[in-house]
Chains A and B, each alone.
Chain A
Amino acid sequence: MRFTKKDILDIESLEPREISMILDTAQGMKEISERPVKKVPTLRGKTIVLFFQEPSTRTKLSFDTAAKRLSADSISISKSSSSIVKGETLIDTAKNLEAMKPDVIVLRHPSSGAPHLIARRVNASVINAGDGIHAHPSQALLDMMSVRGKKGKIDGLNISIIGDIAHSRVARSDITGFSKMGARVRICAPPTMIPFGIEKLGCTVSPTMEACIEGADVIMMLRIQKERQGNILFPTEREYAMRFGLNKARLNLAKEDAIVMHPGPMNRGVEISSDVADADCSMILEQVTNGVALRMALFYLLAGGGRHADSD
């Protein structure tokens, strides 16, 4: 089987067999990070541009580390160092980047659809590292990798996602991805944070946090964005934690071997209590480790042998 996609723009456009292939490849990549010399020459001579137009620490570092472990040359440009601040349009910036012949462009952008806009205009592969409130495919893939690594499968699992679904690109990609791979996804949040028609993406909306968690194999907590607090979606962090925070008592409603995930960065004491965040069932740091392997897999499949050659 070969990987034929030019870009990774969202989970929607990936077939289940392509998702499986990415996860399998990532599993193989994971071992490289455990070696004393954490570098292979696979992508030597390839150029990867990290084009981040929104603040990011973890995701950018993860992509950068992944590129370097595969010996690709990675170049970072951020909003303040790009010509965007001089009034250049995104398409013009992308075309200029293209003229320098990169193999992969990793784009994070505050506008939904920005990676789709440039993917149509450049020959380089484009990886969406988060666009507006639309998609964050590499995060969903690493979440699926983490679940599969721990549970051995995704099909048939109960996945609970709690938090600001409406403004979360992670939630959209996770709901789409996990339901595509056969999991049963339940979500929960105040109705101010549930977008219209979300059920049609492949999930059910639970009326309470307790109903959402009961019998869960995986609990995924989303970050409550403190910067939205001036907004009108919920009264206070205190009240939010009371209704939707994950604590030990609520965790006990899930299956005994349930795991807890969070895409980070966490607000301890708001959506997740510290004892749960640090408990053995917490996969939060494992997600970060898997993130590097997963992104190595994406680079390999897009820029290495994967996209055109057979890779059984």
Chain B
Amino acid sequence: MRIRIKGARVLDPGNMDDNKDIIIKDHLIEAIVDPIVDWEETETGTDIEIIDATGLVVVPGLIDIHVHLREPGQEYKETIETGLMAAARGGFTAVCSMPNTTPVNDNSQVTKFIIHRANELGLSKVYPVGAITHGSMGNTLAEIYDMQQAGIVAVTDDGKPLENSNLMRRALEYCKGLEIPIFVHAEELSIADGGSMNEGFFATVWGIKGIPNAAESIMVVRDIALSELTGAHVHFCHISTKESVEAIRQAKKRGVKVTCETAPHYFTLTDEDVKDYNTNFKMNPPLRSEEDRQAVIQGLIDGTIDLIATDHAPHSVVEKDVEFDRAAFGIVGLETSLSLSLKLVHDGFLTLAELVNKMAKHPAKMIGINNDIRPGNIADLTIIDPEHTYEIDPETFNSKSKNTPFSGLKVKGSPVLTMVNGKVVYRK
């Protein structure tokens, strides 16, 4: 059985951008041919499924390297199954799962469970991220090598930044030897001081305790210094401030081995959008000022920000339908990411090829996989309709949780088909 994706623009930056048909056999890309070549007759006879992708764009499978799947332990928010169904619907062929599950993914047993469960499901793929320290408690190093053998691609104590600089230094040195990056949730907790939204006029108006930009950039600057000291790879998660963008820009100029990501909400919304104590606008780092939003877009344009990840953080109404300062941080993102990010293309900030780099190629490089569209490679592909206009409706989400600030927003462009290992896991 073969599949032929017909009539599409195939866009794999650095490799090809052409109208081609892709022939898939089993789990592999078998051939990439000119649309006029009649593959069915010459090669296969009749046993071929045609996917008509006329007017659409085929790109390497999108990868979201910052996703909270919640299983094991918090299945009422999300399961590996619902999370991966959400990923598939969002056009993602793979995600990296954050380790703050219950129990924490700080040992190879949990890592193996997550991978086993994902393999059983046969949806989008999971590349787990392990904890740096036992229980992400920031005290002692977890068995990172053992977890790496089991399948982790990076480590992080996401949400719980390593306050001890010496421990961070040693963790970086240790990971350098294993050639895996540390994902840093950059937050200096004492200055964040239990705040719930961006420190600024709007926090003053609503009487909400603020989190200043410096809470993020202090840690960014520290970990740039530690990356310089150790030569290890630091990857900064969800960058939200102009100071962080600038610090990383300068570090990269010096040749420091740092990379970073931002999330769609940081280039789409600002703290002015936080209204009526709506907890779907509460995440960490918080929505910042317009100036910060512009700096994030500029960072994406000039390459300071390497990639887009969602920080998909499902929460139930139990955590969200409460007082603002008591509500959990975080929003779901898998099923809105591509549409929100395509706005950068429609607005002329990025080319479609640049966006594909930030959502597919750079994430792949980060976790050490090759998702080029070439014969012989695994058929992990995303088909995009850049022009499809629709209104975001959380009720249509595959995710178990609906905590999004984008409900009712009109967007342009969406995934129409997601293929993993040659199998269609989502079709609009």
- Name which residue of chain B comes closest to A114, CB basis: B323
B325 close to A112 (CB less than 8 A): yes
For B117, the chain A residues whose CB sits under 8 A away are none
- CB–CB B325/A197 < 8 A: no
Contacts of B204 in A (CB 8 A): 172, 195-198, 201
How distant is the Cα of A116 from the Cα of B325 in the complex, in angstroms? 13
Residue of B nearest to A132 (CB): B207
Question: Is B353's beta carbon under 8 Å from chain A?
Answer: no
Residue-wise, chain B 185-204 has the 8 Å CB interface mask toward A (1 for contact) of: 00000000000000111111
Inter-subunit contact B205/A111 (CB<8 Å): no
The 0/1 profile, CB within 8 Å of A marked 1, for residues 315-333 of chain B is: 0001001111110000000
Q: In the complex where A169-B207, A197-B201, A200-B201 touch, is A111 in contact with B325 (Cβ < 8 A)?
A: yes
Instruction: Select B206's contact among A89, A114, A134, A200, beta carbons within 8 Å.
Output: A134
Give chain B residues whose Cβ lies under 8 Å from the Cβ of A169: 207
A134 CB contacts on chain B under 8 angstroms: 206-208
Excluding A113-B276, A117-B277, A117-B322, 18 further A-B contacts by CB distance (< 8 Å) are: A12-B205, A89-B318, A90-B322, A111-B324, A111-B326, A112-B277, A113-B208, A113-B277, A117-B323, A132-B208, A133-B209, A134-B207, A135-B207, A196-B199, A196-B201, A197-B201, A201-B204, A201-B205
CB<8 Å pairs between A and B, sample of 9: A89-B321, A91-B321, A91-B322, A111-B325, A113-B324, A116-B276, A131-B207, A196-B210, A197-B200
Q: Which residue of B202, B208, B318 has the most chain A CB atoms within 10 A of its CB atom?
A: B208
Are the CB atoms of A113 and B200 closer together than 8 Å?
no
- A180 close to B (CB within 8 Å): no
User: Is A69 an interface residue when CB atoms closer than 8 A count as contact?
Assistant: no
How would residues 121 to 160 of chain A score, 1 for a CB under 8 Å from any chain B CB and 0 otherwise? 0000000000111110000000000000000000000000
* Cβ of A110 to closest chain B Cβ, rounded Å: 8
Residues facing A in B329-368 (CB within 8 A) are none
Chain B residues with CB under 8 Å of A91's CB are 321-322
Contacts of A135 in B (CB 8 A): 207
**Given the complex, which residues of B lie within 8 Å of A117, measured CB to CB?**
277, 322-324
Bound complex: CA of A312 vs CA of B233, how far in Å? Answer: 73
A109 interfacial by beta-carbon distance below 8 Å: yes
Residues 6-49 of B, flagged 1 when their CB comes within 8 A of A and 0 if not, give 00000000000000000000000000000000000000000000
Residues of A bordering B, CB below 8 Å: 12, 89-91, 109, 111-114, 116-117, 131-135, 169, 172, 195-198, 200-201
Distance A23 CA – B57 CA, assembled complex (angstroms): 65
What does DSSP make chain A's interface, helix, strand, loop or mixed?
A: mixed
Question: Which among B199, B201, B206, B321 is the interface contact of A113 at CB below 8 angstroms?
Answer: B206
In the A-B complex, the 8 residue pairs with the smallest Cβ-Cβ separation, listed nearest first, are A134-B207, A197-B201, A113-B277, A111-B323, A112-B207, A195-B204, A133-B207, A113-B324
Q: In the complex, what distance in Å separates the CA atom of A246 from the CA atom of B417? A: 70
Closest CB of chain B to A173's CB: distance in Å?
10
CB distance from B335 to the nearest CB of A (A): 26
Chain B residues within an 8 Å CB radius of A113: 206-208, 276-277, 323-324
Interface centre among A111, A200, A201 (most CB of B within 10 A): A111
A111 proximity list for chain B (CB < 8 A): 323-326
Complex alpha-carbon distance, A196 and B288, angstroms:
14
Contacts of B208 in A (CB 8 A): 112-113, 132, 134
User: Is the CB–CB distance between B324 and A112 below 8 Å?
Assistant: yes
Among B200, B205, B318, B323, the residue within 8 A (CB) of A90 is B323
**In the complex, A151→B102 CA distance in Å?**
63
CA distance A169 to B326 in the complex (A): 18
A114 to B279, CA, bound (A): 12
Q: Given A117-B277, A196-B199, do A112 and B206 touch, yes or no (CB 8 Å)? A: yes
Q: How far is the CA of A224 from the CA of B202 in the complex (A)?
A: 24
Q: B residues within 8 A CB of A195?
A: 203-204, 210
In the bound complex, CA of A90 to CA of B277 (Å): 14
> What is the CB-to-nearest-CB distance from B118 to chain A, in angstroms, rounded to a whole number?
34
**Distance to closest chain B CB from A70 (angstroms):** 30
Q: For residue B276, which residue of chain A has the nearest CB?
A: A116
Whole-angstrom distance from the CB of A17 to the nearest CB of chain B? 22
Nearest opposing residue in chain B for A195, CB measure: B204
Given contact pairs A91-B322, A111-B323, A196 touches B205 in the complex (Cβ within 8 A): no
A121 to B201, CA, bound (A): 28
Closest chain A residue to B199, Cβ basis: A196
Contacts of A12 in B (CB 8 A): 205
User: Which one of B199, B277, B322, B326 lies within 8 Å of A116 (CB-CB)?
Assistant: B277
What chain A residues lie within 8 Å of B324 (beta carbons)?
Answer: 111-113, 117
* A113, A132, A197, A201, most chain B CB atoms within 10 A: A113
Which B residues are in CB contact (< 8 Å) with A200? Answer: 201
Q: Which residue from chain B places its CB closest to the CB of A120 in the assembled complex? A: B276
Determine how close the nearest CB of chain B comes to the CB of A72; give it in whole angstroms: 27
User: Which residue of chain B has its CB nearest to the CB of A197?
Assistant: B201
List the B side residues contacting A131 at CB < 8 Å.
Answer: 207
A63 CA / B325 CA spacing, docked (Å): 26
Least distance between B97 CB and chain A CB atoms (Å): 29
Please name all residues of chain B whose beta carbon is closer than 8 Å to the beta carbon of A109 when the two chains form the complex.
323
> Considering only CB atoms, which chain A residue lies closest to B322 in the complex?
A89
Least CB distance, A92 to chain B, in whole angstroms: 10
B92 → chain A closest CB, angstroms: 33
CB-nearest residue of chain B to A121: B321
Bound CA–CA A196/B210 (angstroms): 9
Closest to B323 in A: A111
Separation in Å of the B273 CB from the closest CB of chain A?
15
